[in-house]
């Protein structure tokens, strides 16, 4: 299975390596560096790179390449999924997964990697079990460890590993018992030149933060479960119950976890909450181009559209842009030709716009393509699919927990072609 | 923690280990004092000693030596023998497991025998976690010393029989690594693996699914035979001769139930959050399912496209392979493959590939419109790939060939060179299919020729001119004239085509071009490139007749102007499914080391009975199982003498692992109570037989008289209802709790048609009582009903209806009512209790009130809260109770140990939630005074 792991930063240095079987020389990464050189963008490096004796499978997260060395047949997704799980665990432990964070916590990182894989085969990947084995670093604990020479290795034995609910820690205790659920929906859409929708779909997740004492057994039901077309669950969800009654019944892990991700059936029409009016044109023979962009709300169900961010990759021929926004700030990077406009909130009375001119390279012919506009936005207290949680019940424990649910709609991969 | 110090020796090169282990071992400055002078012999002696403290001291000194950079490898065997291996016998399962993990990670040949022993020992350990670790250790030992293979296979065989979900994934992994060809080891475990699959951890699921895919392809016949008629790629099968069809029909295909079992049990895993699991199930369906069932994997695969870039890449590759053979699967999701400008290049290319595969007459116009956008993309390499794709669509779908050609011709005036070049190349390929109708396109290209600079494009146009010079008789010689002028400045590839064009024109139109051709051939003769010199010489001999050139020049025209077949534009993913989908080999499109070939379906299915498992049944009583359709299935009981004689035959095989067998068999027995299986003929397993008797339900010790209110007469408009638990096995279903309902009418009119509404708001399966047609005023009636609470204390909500009204009522069972008492011997109790430890055990210490400290009162109190059987106890201060949960039949063991004035209550059950609830109730019952 997984033989070794190398962590490579954006400038191409290996800053951490870990071997689960015998040591594989760093030079194996040369094939990887060649691939990086060939690729124009960091994202374009192929995830699977064959070399004469090994195969390198890499994922790119937070500008760090996680390069796994494979020696024999293994499903590539198995490795990719595991590497992402490693990154998630690091984020969970250190807050961020950056080179600095990894270097600062190198001992914990090695301890984690040692426990997550045994001889190249995943052993403990549940964050709840790992946290029993290896305590996440805190400032206090780091200070204490430095003085007393003790470690982050847990004193208690990880009994969770043996249980039928391996995702839940044992002996959980809270003074305030709370369960929060966030329903977050993302709209993926491609809007064509004329403003009509080419494709749009809604992908949603329910993220939970559950801090409940003991062994609570929760059920969560929806007002309109039929909306959910395709779902995937955290292993804690009882699948049979969902099949039979469309109710989520589960003993939750402790802390933060993703309960469910879903896809809303594409038969339903997706409400597109914003529209973009654009006029981006270049004239033949002129070294000037016109740029006009206006945003407006559409089908927002009375909610405000916030944190709007527009970004666009302008054609290579554009030298500079001289624009004036009616609100927010914009930046244009003349090297990468990336234009981004931080709009903020859309006020329906006074629509935000960005107007001005672009200067082109003199003598260059007019670019024959128009840029794509990428949009980001947020709408609080709205699940655009109309999904509603009906109720949350708790069984198995006596106390009354505090329950909360929050809805949010965001732009996923939202593109407007011009 | 001592064991981990030996790590230092092995992995001192890896910084992490040093960090980790130095932290484990308290290295103090003292160590580096006089200790390093110690001789190895002394240290060895210290390690051999019986005293823990001396060993610890020796270990400290050894670590000190290593820290000083001294070679301590001589001491290695002594350390392993005296320190590491001791932990393998630790009473705590987690310590045993990690000791084995450490021991097996030491890659030093000298410890192979110790490792082998430790693995064998651990494989029969009572704790499934230790057995899991043993399975992991198998692979490590195998890579250290492949000669151990035979012994390791024995261990694998034993562990494959294990019924714990913890072990299954790891042992299959070991199987795949050590002896993937020993498919015979799987037979007996096949059904068990299928049934356990959902509960195995996700990484294990992937490995098991891949192994079972391979297994199924060797054991079942193809389910695709019948389907072939419906296969979209072979519509002609429909018109096949009558006779052939009759042959097919004579042997209708019936899927092996085991084949079906695998498909059914893997399906829920499509909902897994782990993308590798979803992919594994998808490939299983692709390789094993009847074609018409394939569509269920589509949605899940499309869902994966929302995941990380790397996941998308692999999934798209697999979809590309699938979409070649079965367009229909992904066509409804075509828009999910539309390219976004932010996609990575390799993702874009794959999406294009899939869109091309999905194109058909119906959707081609939509796809072409989408392609038009892509051609304008800023990513020119992607634009070029799109043009290729348009070419593919044009050849595959003849209706749009013209449209595509016209579109491509327009692109010839594009400003970008790569776009133009790619267009020319694709047009060339397209024209080859129908040249005569397109002389105007060739003319157009000739006009643009001067502006085109990309060599490949220029070469392509020249080739077209030559090939179809008869269609453009006026233009071709002129082009040749221009080329003669620029010959020396052209790229090699263009030069070759100039020579080619010259030769063809010479043959067809020698009058106009004779001199030009000779001039070009002369230039070519002295070219720097030997390929061109060679070609020139060859062409000259071929086309210019002279005395030396023999008969060949007569055929020059037929050689050069031979009709050439149009190139076939086909996907790079065609026939990629010769590799099992989802594998590394499929991704690389070449066989990776360790790839296990998927065999073809056998023509005739091998013996099915090899998978039959010896099911142990309860013997004393004839059991009657109620099946879903209500037919009673009677299972014959056997006489004891019969079973005795049969047991002797199987004894030899079960001897070696008797501990393990009895442990794991109890699992099936428990299941048997709820899930009746067809019983095959089987030898009787002597070892597990007392256990199965122990799960026989006995009659309740105590039935409480208290009834609970279901419906108050005020809310029920005069109808009141009370219920109580009868604590008897329910006659309506094995997994139901039996209830008695007393309905009373307190109005002055008769109530009619009292019944429970058909629709139930919660999921419990309820057996309703027969509707009461009429209940006279002030009368009451008692009826019985059954509810399957599913081993949860969640209330059963239903509607109690009369002719006029509906009342929502709910029954909230106390946890103790969800049990049925069973009897077992004290010895069995202790044995079962030993298996249900760790998470499965919950206990509490309480202080007893003096009046409760009598055997009678303890027994009475416990059986009043929970429907448990009392086990006759040999000791005075220990009370034991046993039962099983009604729905799943899991064992529930309660013991109360009195230690004046305290008492320790321990509850052992797999149902941890129920266990903790029951514990609380027993606790309250025993602490409260009163009856």
pLDDT at B157 > cutoff 90: yes
Residue B862: cis peptide before it, omega within 30 degrees of 0: no
Percentage of chain B exceeding pLDDT 70 = 79
Q: Residue B808, SS3?
A: strand
Q: What is the pLDDT of residue B805?
A: 83
Which residues of chain B are within 8 Å of residue A118 when distances are taken between CB atoms?
Answer: 101, 136
Residues 2-21 of B with CB under 8 A from A: 13-17, 19-20
Comparing B241-255, B335-349, B477-491, B821-835, the range with the smallest average pLDDT is B241-255
- Say yes or no for a CB contact (<8 Å) between B311 and A241: no
Measured CA to CA, the distance from residue A362 to residue A365 in angstroms comes to 8
Q: What is the CATH T-level fold of the domain B45-219, as seen in this structure? A: 1.25.10
Query: A122: which strand partners?
Result: A117
Q: Look at domain A274-380 and name its CATH class.
A: mainly beta
Q: Residue B630, SS3?
A: coil
Q: Residue B38, SS3?
A: coil
Measured CA to CA, the distance from residue B433 to residue B405 in angstroms comes to 12
Name the residue in chain A with its Cα closest to that of B143.
A21
Burial of B395 (0-12, 13-18, 19+ CB in 10 A): buried
Residues 194-233 of B with CB under 8 A from A: 198, 201-203, 206, 210
Q: What is the mean pLDDT of chain B?
A: 78
For residue B784, give both structure tokens. Answer: 């019985």
pLDDT at B354 > cutoff 80: yes
Low-confidence ranges of chain A (pLDDT < 70): 139-164, 265-268, 364-365, 368
- Say yes or no for a CB contact (<8 Å) between A417 and B143: no
**B602 secondary structure, DSSP code:** P
Can you tell me the mean pLDDT for B673-685?
41
Measured CA to CA, the distance from residue B386 to residue B380 in angstroms comes to 10
Does B413 reach chain A within 8 Å, measured CB to CB? no
Q: What are phi and psi of B929, to 5 degrees?
A: -85, 180
Q: Residue B626, SS3?
A: strand
Measured CA to CA, the distance from residue B615 to residue B316 in angstroms comes to 44
| Contacts of residue B200, Cβ cutoff 8 Å, sequence gap at least 6 | B165, B168, B169, B208
- Facing A164 at nearest CB: one of B299, B310, B912: B912
Q: What is the pLDDT of residues B201-218, one digit of tens each?
A: 899 999 999 999 999 999
Does B284 reach chain A within 8 Å, measured CB to CB? no
| Contacts of residue B409, Cβ cutoff 8 Å, sequence gap at least 6 | B423, B427, B441, B444, B445
- DSSP states of B547-581 as a string? SSS-GGGGGHHHHHT---PPPP---TTTTGGGSPT
Between β-strands A178-191 and A402-417, what pairing exists: parallel, antiparallel or unpaired? Answer: parallel
Which residues of chain B are within 8 Å of residue A123 when distances are taken between CB atoms?
Answer: 136
- Say yes or no for a CB contact (<8 Å) between A106 and B16: yes
**B12 secondary structure, DSSP code:** T
Which residues of chain B are within 8 Å of residue A59 when distances are taken between CB atoms?
Answer: 308-310
E-only strand ranges, A99-227: 117-118, 121-122, 178-191, 197-211, 217-222
Cβ-Cβ contacts under 8 Å between A and B: the total is: 255
Q: What is the pLDDT of residue B550?
A: 67
Q: What is the pLDDT of residue B779?
A: 81
Can you tell me the mean pLDDT for B444-451?
84
Q: What is the pLDDT of residue B30?
A: 36
Name the residue in chain B with its Cα closest to that of A4.
B14
Which residues of chain B are within 8 Å of residue A125 when distances are taken between CB atoms?
Answer: 203
Does B180 reach chain A within 8 Å, measured CB to CB? no
Comparing A386-395, B65-74, B504-513, B878-887, the range with the smallest average pLDDT is B65-74
Cα separations in angstroms, A403 against A253, A389, A406, B415, B772: 16, 12, 10, 61, 42
What ranges do the domains of chain B cover?
45-219, 454-571, 708-813, 817-927
Note the helical H segments in A39-171.
76-94, 99-104, 106-116, 127-133, 139-148
Q: Residue B218, SS3?
A: helix
| Confidence band of B641 (pLDDT split at 50, 70, 90) | very low
Measured CA to CA, the distance from residue B372 to residue B68 in angstroms comes to 71
Q: What is the pLDDT of residue B242?
A: 46
Q: What is the CATH number of domain B817-927?
A: 3.30.310.10
| Confidence band of B72 (pLDDT split at 50, 70, 90) | low
Measured CA to CA, the distance from residue A260 to residue B483 in angstroms comes to 67
Does B173 reach chain A within 8 Å, measured CB to CB? yes
Cα separations in angstroms, A75 against A24, A29, A37, B262, B308: 21, 21, 26, 20, 16
Measured CA to CA, the distance from residue B436 to residue B440 in angstroms comes to 10
Q: Compare B382 and B827 and report the one with higher pLDDT.
A: B382
Measured CA to CA, the distance from residue B222 to residue B218 in angstroms comes to 10
Largest distance between two CA atoms of chain B: 131
Q: What is the CATH T-level fold of the domain B708-813, as seen in this structure? A: Immunoglobulin-like (2.60.40)
C-beta separation of B285 from B220 below 8 A = no
Which residues of chain B are within 8 Å of residue A258 when distances are taken between CB atoms?
Answer: 273
Which residues of chain B are within 8 Å of residue A201 when distances are taken between CB atoms?
Answer: 336
- Facing B275 at nearest CB: one of A22, A81, A203: A81
Closest approach of chain B CAs to the CA of A319, in angstroms? Answer: 16
CA nearest neighbour of B837 among B717, B663, B702, B671: B663
Q: Residue B51, SS3?
A: coil
Top residue of B299, B310, B369, B414 to mutate, by most chain A CBs within 10 Å, is B310
For residue B480, give both structure tokens. Answer: 């040749």
| Confidence band of B763 (pLDDT split at 50, 70, 90) | low
Q: What is the pLDDT of residue B660?
A: 38
- Cα angle for residues B277, B282, B284 (degrees, 5° grid): 95
Between β-strands A217-222 and A389-395, what pairing exists: parallel, antiparallel or unpaired? Answer: antiparallel
Cα separations in angstroms, B53 against B2, B22, B46: 12, 20, 9
ipTM score here? 0.92
Q: What is the pLDDT of residues B873-928, one digit of tens each?
A: 777 788 888 888 888 888 888 888 888 778 888 888 888 888 888 888 888 888 87
Sign of CA pseudo-dihedral B467, B472, B474, B475: negative
Can you tell me the mean pLDDT for B827-842?
82
pLDDT at B197 > cutoff 80: yes
Q: What are phi and psi of B315, to 5 degrees?
A: -65, -45
Q: What is the pLDDT of residues B715-748, one digit of tens each?
A: 888 888 888 888 877 777 778 888 888 888 888 8
Closest approach of chain B CAs to the CA of A159, in angstroms? Answer: 7
Does B236 reach chain A within 8 Å, measured CB to CB? no
Q: Compare B634 and B226 and report the one with higher pLDDT.
A: B226
- DSSP states of A274-327 as a string? EEEEEEEEE-TT-SEEEEEEEEEE-S-TTPPPEEEEEEEE--TTEEEEEEEESS
Does B170 reach chain A within 8 Å, measured CB to CB? yes
Cα separations in angstroms, B194 against B20, B201, B272: 40, 14, 16
Residues 561-620 of B with CB under 8 A from A: 582-585, 587-588, 590, 592-596
- Facing B23 at nearest CB: one of A21, A46, A107: A107
Does B331 reach chain A within 8 Å, measured CB to CB? no
Which residues of chain A are within 8 Å of residue B335 when distances are taken between CB atoms?
Answer: 198-199, 266
- Cα angle for residues A57, A62, A65 (degrees, 5° grid): 25
- Facing A165 at nearest CB: one of B203, B274, B912: B912
Query: A233: which strand partners?
Result: A260, B272
Cα separations in angstroms, B152 against A1, A275, B109, B121, B155: 19, 66, 16, 12, 5
CA nearest neighbour of B885 among B910, B905, B865: B910
- Say yes or no for a CB contact (<8 Å) between A164 and B840: yes
Closest approach of chain A CAs to the CA of B80, in angstroms? Answer: 20
Closest approach of chain B CAs to the CA of A290, in angstroms? Answer: 19
Measured CA to CA, the distance from residue A31 to residue A13 in angstroms comes to 14
Sign of CA pseudo-dihedral B359, B360, B363, B368: positive
pLDDT at B546 > cutoff 70: yes
Buried residues in A75-94 as b, exposed as e (16+ CB within 10 A):
bbbbbbbbbbbbbebbebbb
Q: Compare B739 and B69 and report the one with higher pLDDT.
A: B739
CA nearest neighbour of B284 among B187, B206, B175, B182: B206
Can you tell me the mean pLDDT for B683-712?
60
Rg (CA), chain B: 40
Which residues of chain A are within 8 Å of residue B104 when distances are taken between CB atoms?
Answer: 119
- Say yes or no for a CB contact (<8 Å) between B336 and A162: no
Which residues of chain A are within 8 Å of residue B93 when distances are taken between CB atoms?
Answer: 162
Closest approach of chain A CAs to the CA of B859, in angstroms? Answer: 25
C-beta separation of B487 from B521 below 8 A = no
Can you tell me the mean pLDDT for B686-699?
45
Measured CA to CA, the distance from residue B793 to residue B80 in angstroms comes to 51
Measured CA to CA, the distance from residue B737 to residue B867 in angstroms comes to 11
Q: Residue A237, SS3?
A: strand
Measured CA to CA, the distance from residue B97 to residue B167 in angstroms comes to 13
- Facing B14 at nearest CB: one of A19, A217, A315: A19
Measured CA to CA, the distance from residue B503 to residue B557 in angstroms comes to 9
Three-state secondary structure along B848-868?
CCHHHCCHHHHHHHHHHHCCC
Q: What is the CATH T-level fold of the domain A178-270+382-416, as seen in this structure? A: Immunoglobulin-like (2.60.40)
Measured CA to CA, the distance from residue B527 to residue B519 in angstroms comes to 13
Name the residue in chain A with its Cα closest to that of B129.
A162
For residue A15, give both structure tokens. Answer: 């800053």
- Say yes or no for a CB contact (<8 Å) between A19 and B279: no
- Say yes or no for a CB contact (<8 Å) between B584 and A417: no
> Where does chain A hold its CATH 2.60.40.1170 domain(s)?
178-270+382-416, 274-380
Q: Which residue has the tokens 């990484």?
A: B203
Q: What is the pLDDT of residue B86?
A: 67
Query: With respect to CATH, is domain A2-148 assigned 3.30.450.60?
Result: yes
Measured CA to CA, the distance from residue B354 to residue B576 in angstroms comes to 14
pLDDT at B6 > cutoff 60: no
């Amino acid at each position: 299975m997984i033989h070794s792991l190398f962590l490579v930063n954006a400038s191409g240095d290996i800053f951490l390596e870990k071997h689960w079987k015998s040591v594989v020389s760093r030079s194996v990464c040369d094939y990887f560096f060649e691939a990086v050189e060939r690729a124009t963008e960091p994202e374009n490096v192929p995830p699977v790179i064959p070399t004469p004796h090994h195969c390198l499978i890499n994922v790119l997260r937070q500008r760090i390449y996680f390069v796994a060395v494979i020696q024999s047949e293994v499903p590539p997704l198995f490795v990719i999924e595991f590497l992402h799980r490693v990154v998630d665990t690091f984020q969970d432990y250190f807050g961020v997964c950056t080179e600095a964070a990894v270097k600062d916590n190198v001992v914990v990182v090695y301890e984690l990697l040692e426990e997550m894989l045994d001889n190249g085969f995943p052993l403990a990947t549940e964050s709840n079990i790992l946290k029993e084995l290896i305590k996440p670093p805190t400032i206090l604990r780091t200070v204490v460890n430095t003085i007393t020479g003790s470690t982050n290795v847990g004193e208690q034995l990880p009994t969770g590993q043996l249980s039928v609910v391996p995702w839940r820690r044992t002996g959980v205790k809270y003074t305030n018992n709370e369960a929060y659920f966030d329903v977050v929906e993302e709209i993926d859409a491609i809007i064509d030149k004329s403003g009509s929708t080419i494709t749009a779909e809604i992908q949603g997740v329910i993220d939970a933060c559950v801090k409940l004492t003991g062994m609570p057994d929760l059920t969560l039901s929806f007002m309109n479960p039929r909306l959910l077309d395709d779902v995937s669950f955290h292993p804690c969800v009882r699948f049979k119950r969902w099949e039979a009654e469309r109710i989520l019944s589960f003993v939750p892990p402790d802390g933060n976890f993703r309960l469910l991700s879903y896809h809303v059936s594409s038969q339903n029409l997706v409400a597109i909450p914003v529209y973009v009016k654009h006029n981006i044109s270049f004239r033949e023979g002129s070294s000037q181009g016109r740029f006009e962009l206006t945003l407006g709300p559409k089908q927002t169900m009375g909610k405000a559209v916030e944190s709007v961010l527009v970004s666009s990759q302008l054609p290579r021929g554009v030298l500079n842009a001289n624009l004036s926004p009616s609100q927010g700030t914009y930046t244009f990077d003349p090297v990468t030709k990336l234009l981004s406009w931080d709009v903020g909130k859309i006020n329906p009375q006074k629509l935000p716009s960005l107007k001005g001119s672009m200067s082109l390279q003199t003598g260059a012919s007019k670019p024959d393509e128009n840029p794509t506009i990428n949009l980001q936005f947020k709408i609080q207290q709205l699940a655009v699919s109309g999904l509603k949680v009906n109720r949350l019940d708790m069984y198995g424990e006596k106390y009354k927990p505090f329950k909360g649910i929050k809805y949010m709609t965001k732009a996923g991969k939202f593109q407007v072609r011009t | 923690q001592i064991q981990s110090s030996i790590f230092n020796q092995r992995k001192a090169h890896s910084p992490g280990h040093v960090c980790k282990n130095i932290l484990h071992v308290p290295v103090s400055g003292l160590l580096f004092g006089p200790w390093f002078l110690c001789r190895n012999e002394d240290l060895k002696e210290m390690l051999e000693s019986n005293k823990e403290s001396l060993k610890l001291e020796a270990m400290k000194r050894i670590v000190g030596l290593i820290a000083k950079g001294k070679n301590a490898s001589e001491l290695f065997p002594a350390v392993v023998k005296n320190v590491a291996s001791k932990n393998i016998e630790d009473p705590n399962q987690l310590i045993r497991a990690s000791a084995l993990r450490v021991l097996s990670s030491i890659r030093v040949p000298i410890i192979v025998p110790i490792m082998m022993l430790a693995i064998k020992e651990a494989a029969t350990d009572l704790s499934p976690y230790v057995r899991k670790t043993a399975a992991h250790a198998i692979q490590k030992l195998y890579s250290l010393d492949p000669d151990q293979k035979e012994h390791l296979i024995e261990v694998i065989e034993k562990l494959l029989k294990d019924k714990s979900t913890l072990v299954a994934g790891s042992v299959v992994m070991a199987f795949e690594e050590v002896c993937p060809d020993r498919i015979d080891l799987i037979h007996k475990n096949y059904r068990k693996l299928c049934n356990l699959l959902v509960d195995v951890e996700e990484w294990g699921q992937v490995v098991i699914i891949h192994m079972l895919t391979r297994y199924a392809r060797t054991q079942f016949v193809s389910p695709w035979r019948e389907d072939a008629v419906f296969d979209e790629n072979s519509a002609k099968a429909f018109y096949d001769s009558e006779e052939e069809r009759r042959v097919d029909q004579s042997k209708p295909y019936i899927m092996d139930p085991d084949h079906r079992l695998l498909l059914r049990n893997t399906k829920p895993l499509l909902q897994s959050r782990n993308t590798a699991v979803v992919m594994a199930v998808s490939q299983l369906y692709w390789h094993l399912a009847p074609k018409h069932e394939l569509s269920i994997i589509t949605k899940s695969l499309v869902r994966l496209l929302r995941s990380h870039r790397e996941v998308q890449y692999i999934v798209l590759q697999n979809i590309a392979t699938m979409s070649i053979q079965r367009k229909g699967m992904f066509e409804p999701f075509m828009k999910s493959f539309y390219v976004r400008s932010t996609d990575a290049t390799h993702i874009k290319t794959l999406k294009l590939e899939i869109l091309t595969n999905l194109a058909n007459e119906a959707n081609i116009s939509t796809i072409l419109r989408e392609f038009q956008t892509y051609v304008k993309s800023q990513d020119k390499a992607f634009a070029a790939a799109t043009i290729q794709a348009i070419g593919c669509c044009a050849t595959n779908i003849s209706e749009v060939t013209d449209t595509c050609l016209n579109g491509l011709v327009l692109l010839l005036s594009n400003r970008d060179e790569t776009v133009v070049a790619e267009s020319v190349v694709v047009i060339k390929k397209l024209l080859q299919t129908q040249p005569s109708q397109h002389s105007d396109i060739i003319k157009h290209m000739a006009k643009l020729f001067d502006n085109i600079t990309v060599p490949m494009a220029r070469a392509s146009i020249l080739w077209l001119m030559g090939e179809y010079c008869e269609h453009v008789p006026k233009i071709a010689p002129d082009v040749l004239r221009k080329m003669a002028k620029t010959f020396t400045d052209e790229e090699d590839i263009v030069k070759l085509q100039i020579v080619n064009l010259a030769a063809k024109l010479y043959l067809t139109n020698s009058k106009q071009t004779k001199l030009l051709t000779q001039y070009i051939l002369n230039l070519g003769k002295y070219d720097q490139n030997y390929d061109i010199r060679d070609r020139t010489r060859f062409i000259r001999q071929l086309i210019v007749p002279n005395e030396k050139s023999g008969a060949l020049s007569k055929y020059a025209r037929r050689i050069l102007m031979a009709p050439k077949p149009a190139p076939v534009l086909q996907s790079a993913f065609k026939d990629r499914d010769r590799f099992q989908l989802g594998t590394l080999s499929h991704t690389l499109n070449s066989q990776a080391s360790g790839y296990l070939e998927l065999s073809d379906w056998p023509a005739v299915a091998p013996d099915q009975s090899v998978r039959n498992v010896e099911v142990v049944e309860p013997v004393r009583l004839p059991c009657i199982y109620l099946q879903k359709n209500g037919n009673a299935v009677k299972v014959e009981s056997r006489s004891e003498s019969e079973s005795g004689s049969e047991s002797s035959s199987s004894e030899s095989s079960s001897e070696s692992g008797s501990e393990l067998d009895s442990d794991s068999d109890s699992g099936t027995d428990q299941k048997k109570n709820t899930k009746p299986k067809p019983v095959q003929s089987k030898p009787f397993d002597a070892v597990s037989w007392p256990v199965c008797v122990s799960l026989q339900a006995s009659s309740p010790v105590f039935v409480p008289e208290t009834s609970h209110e279901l419906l108050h007469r005020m809310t029920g408009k005069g109808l009141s209802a009370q219920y109580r638990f009868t604590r008897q096995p329910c006659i309506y279903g094995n997994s139901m709790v039996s209830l008695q309902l007393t309905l009373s009418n307190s109005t002055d009119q008769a109530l009619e048609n009292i019944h429970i509404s058909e629709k139930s708001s919660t999921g419990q399966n309820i057996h309703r009582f027969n509707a009461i047609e009429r209940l006279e005023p002030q009368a009451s009636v008692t009826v019985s009903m059954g509810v399957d609470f599913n081993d949860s204390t969640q209330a059963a909500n239903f509607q109690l209806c009369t002719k006029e009204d509906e009342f929502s009522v709910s029954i909230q069972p106390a946890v103790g009512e969800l049990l049925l008492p069973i009897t077992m011997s004290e010895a069995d109790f202790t044995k079962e209790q030993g298996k249900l430890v760790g998470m499965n055990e919950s206990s509490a210490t309480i202080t007893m009130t003096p009046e409760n400290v009598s055997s009678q009162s303890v027994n009475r109190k416990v059986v009043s809260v929970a429907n448990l059987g009392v086990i006759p106890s040999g000791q005075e201060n220990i009370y034991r109770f046993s039962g099983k949960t009604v729905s799943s039949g899991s064992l529930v063991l309660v013991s109360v140990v009195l230690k004046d004035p305290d008492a320790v209550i321990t509850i052992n059950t797999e149902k941890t939630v129920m266990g903790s609830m029951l514990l609380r109730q027993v606790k309250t019952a025993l602490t409260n005074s009163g009856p």
